[in-house]
Amino acid sequence: MKKSIGPDKVKTAVFISGTGSNLKNLIKFSFKKNSPISINLIISNKSNAEGLKYANQQKIEKKIINFINPKESEKKIINLLEKKKISFICLAGFMKILSNNFLKRFNGKVINIHPSLLPKYKGLDTHKRVLKNNEKFSGCTVHYVTSKLDSGKIILQKKIKISKTDKENTLRKKILREEHRLYPRAIKKIFY
């Protein structure tokens, strides 16, 4: 991974809660010349989020904000984002709901990825529910964030066929691979 953080790139924060494969992928993307964003801050609500290792590896500033008191936590985050002149936020497996107040402050500049064909299957255990309902297709969606769970205007969506042999785990892996293609494409769509 070669770092190229141009001064003209949009300063971006990525919020995570877990594994961070989308974070890893976005960091890799941000280093490319044709990426409109640079990643300057990583926020996690969990101190043991596996994805934090990518912040360490790439020496990107990280902050743990526990969200025990959501209002106070959001205040802290807003201060941090302002201090670092962050103007764009990518949620990547971030499992907390952001308030209207917070989102208004970053009006139209917070996006999320979800592993389903929204508006279907919002929330948790997506793949399990999709398989239980014998769906033939699933996929992933990048969308603008509102204070309602996994809602907001869709930016891009990718549909995939579910095979008869798919289990929760194989479907998760298949869709994650597509997420890693879709998220950078959606960001380019916004800025170019």
Please list the active-site residues.
114
Counting contacts by CB under 6 A, is residue 143 touching ligand GAR? no
Counting contacts by CB under 6 A, is residue 180 touching ligand GAR? no
Which residue(s) pair with 24 in the sheet?
none
Question: Which listed residue (10, 78, 97, 176) binds ligand GAR by CB under 6 A?
Answer: 176
Binding part of the chain for ligand GAR, among 12-20, 55-63, 71-79, 80-88 by CB under 6 A, reads 12-20
- Is the CB of residue 170 less than 8 Å from the CB of residue 136? no
Counting contacts by CB under 6 A, is residue 115 touching ligand GAR? yes
Q: Which two tokens stand for residue 4?
A: 């190229």
Counting contacts by CB under 6 A, is residue 18 touching ligand GAR? yes
With H, G, I as helix, E, B as strand and everything else as coil, classify residue 141. Answer: strand
Q: Which of 9, 53, 54 is nearest to 31 (CA)?
A: 9
CB of 71 to ligand GAR, least distance (A): 21
What's the gap between Cα 191 and its chain centre? 17
Q: How many residues bind ligand GAR (CB under 6 A)?
A: 14
Omega within 30 of 0 (cis) for the link into 70: no
C-beta closer to ligand GAR: residue 72 or 159? 159
